[in-house]
Each structure stands twice: as C-alpha cells, then as structure tokens.
C-alpha cells in the first residue's frame, strides 16, 4: 500500500479475516490431524464426560441442580428432584446438591448453660468450661449463659432441638449456617418462655408445657426467617439452677417434695377416715335413735302398767300389797326355791325356819 492512500472498511475486514485465517490454519490443521488419528479415544472421552452428569438421588433425599451457580427450574416442582436417577450436565457446568428431607437432625443448644455441671461432676474451685469461661463462685452476666424465670430466679439449661427440612431450596441455598440460626431461635424462645413461669413449676409438671412453648416460639422465629426448617421437638437435656446455688436449691426442692408428700398422705388419710367416721356416726345415730325409741316405749309401757296398778291398789290395797309382796319374794327366791313364804300376821315371824339348799 502506498503512503498516504486510504482503505475502505470492507477492505479492512477482508484483510483482518485473511490474517486470522492465515494464523489459525496451522492450529486447525493440528486439530484435524488429532481427530483423524485419535477420533475413537476422543469420542469415548466425550461420551464418558457427558455421562458423568448421570447421578442418583437416595431415598429420603431430594436434589437441587445449580447451573453455572443458578438454580435450575422456574417453580418448586421443577427445582426439587425426588429420589431416583437424575441427569445433569457434567461439572463444572452443573452442580447437584442433595438434601435429606426425611432425616431428623439434632442440634445441642448449650448457650444458656455455661458452667452448668461442675458441682455434679465433683469439681471444686474455678475450672474452665467447654466454652472457655471460668466457673466461678458467681455468675458473670457478660460471659455465662442463663435465663430468668417469672419469679426472678436464675436458670441454666441444655436443650436438644430436633428438626427436619421442610423447604430444601431455602435450607440449602439461603442459609449459611442452619444450626447456628436454630440455636439462636431456640435460645430466644427459651428466654422468652422462661420469663412466664415460676422455677418450681418448670422443675415439676410445667417442664413439658415449657418445652412445648419453646418449640412453638422457636418455630415462629424460623418461619419469619424463612429457614425451611420444621422443629419436631425441643427436649431438656439439663434444667437446673446455677451450680453455685444448686445444693441450697436441692434442699428447698426436697422440702417441697416432703411437704407435698405429707399433704398427699393427709389427703389420703382424710379420704379414708372421713367416710369411715361419717359411717360410724350414722350407725351410732341410728342405734341411739333405736335405743331411745325402745326405752321410750318401755318407759311408756311401765308408766301405763304403774298407773293401772295404782288404780287397782286404790280399790283393793290389801290384795295388791300381798300380791306385790309375793311376786317380789318369788323373784328373789326363784334361783334357790319355789316355796312361798307368806307375810307374817304381825310384825315378826314366830317359830319359822327356812332351809335354803346349796
């Protein structure tokens, strides 16, 4: 080209294309040579590479396919693949994530129990807990985990949260640390729930009620966070006051148990004795009424007999007097004799002897 001359754009493109073809022709020749000589091994490698995307999803699992880092599918039905064979593009194009949706996962929550257990384990003096905190004679609010009860008592607890995956897409792709999120939710729910109950209630019948309250509150927090997790149960592995006051608390609980035992024994005794006493009183009242009626009838009979005898005595006093004397003597001598001793004519007996056999 001569100096000072100008080329049209089409001429420039033709020149660039010719230059690229000239530079690429050796590379294309090399590729064609390799394909002609090694076409079968290359074909086998290509087939194996394409087949590497075939995988299987185990029972109880679902799979998510990420293509170049993006989830494949427009709706949950297309995004979540059930158990069985699954074909995806080979790596690094596609990535298959497997999520256990039927497995029950367990997370141990110890954030509210730092230092708990040193007294039970026989430890004396300051020791270091698993979280690196020192177990001292007092609780450090900035380091030691605890919660306050409704009656202003301090409580420490170790919880065991069990959950299953309800939304595999959110669980696998939107949560950086599902277990940490679960611990925070359970701790928040425990602190909130403990503030509504007294410590005596928690340590007795209210333990199961508290567990249910913690599970419901923690589930609500997880749902608000879109965690895709379903809490199956929240169990108390340890539930106790701080070890610094545990001996005194045990004495109080023991006294309360003794009091409850005595009250129950008293109630049982009352439940047995009160009906028995009522039955005895009813029986005695009935017997007294019957005896009163009997005695009253007998008294009335005797009164009527006496009045009749009095009327007869007024008419014939001598005859009645002799008869009464005779009846009295017969009653007195009935065990030893049946003979009648008549009354004396005067004031004394003359030449009278009575023999009483033994």
User: Residue 19 corresponds to which tokens in the numbers above?
Assistant: 């230059």
Residue 205 has pLDDT above 90, yes or no: no
Q: Give the mean pLDDT of the chain.
A: 75
pLDDT at 300: 92
Per-residue pLDDT of 63-91, as tens digits, reads: 777 776 677 777 766 777 777 666 566 66
Per-residue pLDDT of 326-356, as tens digits, reads: 888 777 777 665 555 666 666 676 666 666 5
pLDDT at 341: 62
**Percent of the chain residues past pLDDT 70, beyond the cut:** 66
Confidence grade of residue 29 (pLDDT, cut at 50, 70, 90) = low
**Which of 5-9, 149-153, 201-205, 231-235 has the least mean pLDDT?**
5-9
Residue 1 has pLDDT above 50, yes or no: no
Q: How far apart are CA 331 and CA 340, in angstroms?
A: 11
Q: How far apart are CA 32 and CA 34, in angstroms?
A: 5
Residue 6 has pLDDT above 70, yes or no: no
Write down the pTM of the prediction.
0.54
Confidence grade of residue 120 (pLDDT, cut at 50, 70, 90) = very low
pLDDT at 339: 59
Q: How far apart are CA 37 and CA 47, in angstroms?
A: 18
CATH class of 105-244: alpha beta
Residue with tokens 């026989």: 122
Confidence grade of residue 61 (pLDDT, cut at 50, 70, 90) = confident
- 330 DSSP 8-state letter: H
pLDDT at 13: 44
pLDDT at 160: 94
pLDDT at 41: 59
Radius of gyration for the chain, computed over Cα atoms and rounded to the nearest angstrom: 54
pLDDT at 187: 93
Q: How far apart are CA 293 and CA 301, in angstroms?
A: 12
**DSSP readout, 169-213?**
HHHHHT-S-HHHHHHHHHHHHHHHHHTTS-HHHHTTTHHHHHHHH
pLDDT at 64: 77
Q: Which residue has the higher pLDDT, 116 or 90?
A: 90
pLDDT at 115: 54
pLDDT at 351: 67
pLDDT at 40: 53
Nearest to 56 by CA among 79, 80, 86, 81: 86
Residue 117 has pLDDT above 80, yes or no: no
Q: How far apart are CA 148 and CA 194, in angstroms?
A: 6
Q: How far apart are CA 25 and CA 18, in angstroms?
A: 10
Per-residue pLDDT of 12-24, as tens digits, reads: 344 544 554 555 5
Per the document, the length of the chain is: 358
pLDDT at 256: 77
Residue 137 has pLDDT above 60, yes or no: yes
pLDDT at 357: 60
pLDDT at 294: 93
């Amino acid at each position: 080209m001569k100096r000072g001359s100008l080329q049209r754009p089409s001429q420039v493109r033709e020149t660039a294309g010719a230059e690229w073809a000239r530079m690429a022709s050796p590379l294309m020749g090399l590729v064609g040579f390799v394909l002609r000589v090694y076409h079968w091994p290359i074909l086998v490698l290509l087939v194996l590479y394409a087949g590497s995307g075939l995988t299987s999803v185990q029972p109880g699992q679902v799979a998510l396919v990420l293509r170049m880092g993006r989830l494949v599918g427009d709706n949950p039905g297309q995004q979540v693949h059930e158990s069985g064979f699954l074909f995806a593009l080979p790596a690094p194009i596609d990535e298959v994530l497997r999520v256990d949706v039927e497995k029950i996962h367990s997370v141990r929550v110890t954030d509210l129990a730092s230092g708990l257990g040193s007294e039970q384990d026989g430890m004396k003096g300051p020791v270091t807990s698993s979280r690196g905190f020192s177990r001292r004679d007092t609780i450090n609010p900035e380091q030691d985990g605890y919660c306050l009860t409704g009656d202003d008592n301090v409580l420490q607890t170790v919880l065991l949260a069990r959950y299953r995956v309800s939304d595999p897409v959110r669980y696998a792709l939107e949560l950086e640390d599902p277990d940490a999120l679960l611990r925070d939710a359970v701790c928040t729910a425990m602190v909130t729930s403990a503030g509504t109950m007294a410590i005596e209630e928690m340590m007795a019948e209210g333990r199961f009620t508290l567990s249910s309250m913690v599970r419901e509150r923690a589930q609500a927090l997880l749902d608000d966070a879109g965690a895709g997790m379903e809490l199956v149960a929240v169990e108390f592995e340890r539930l106790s006051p701080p070890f610094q006051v545990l001996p005194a608390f045990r004495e109080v609980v023991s006294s309360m148990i003794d009091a409850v035992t005595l009250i129950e024994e008293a109630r049982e005794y009352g439940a047995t004795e009160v009906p028995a006493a009522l039955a005895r009183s009813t029986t005695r009242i009935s017997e007294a009424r019957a005896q009163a009626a009997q005695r009253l009838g007998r008294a009335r009979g005797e009164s009527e007999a006496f009045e009749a005898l009095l009327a007869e005595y007024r008419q014939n006093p001598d005859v009645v007097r002799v008869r009464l004397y005779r009846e009295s003597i017969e009653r007195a001598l009935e065990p030893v004799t049946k003979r009648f001793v008549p009354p004396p004519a005067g004031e004394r007996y003359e030449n009278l002897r009575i023999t009483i056999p033994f």
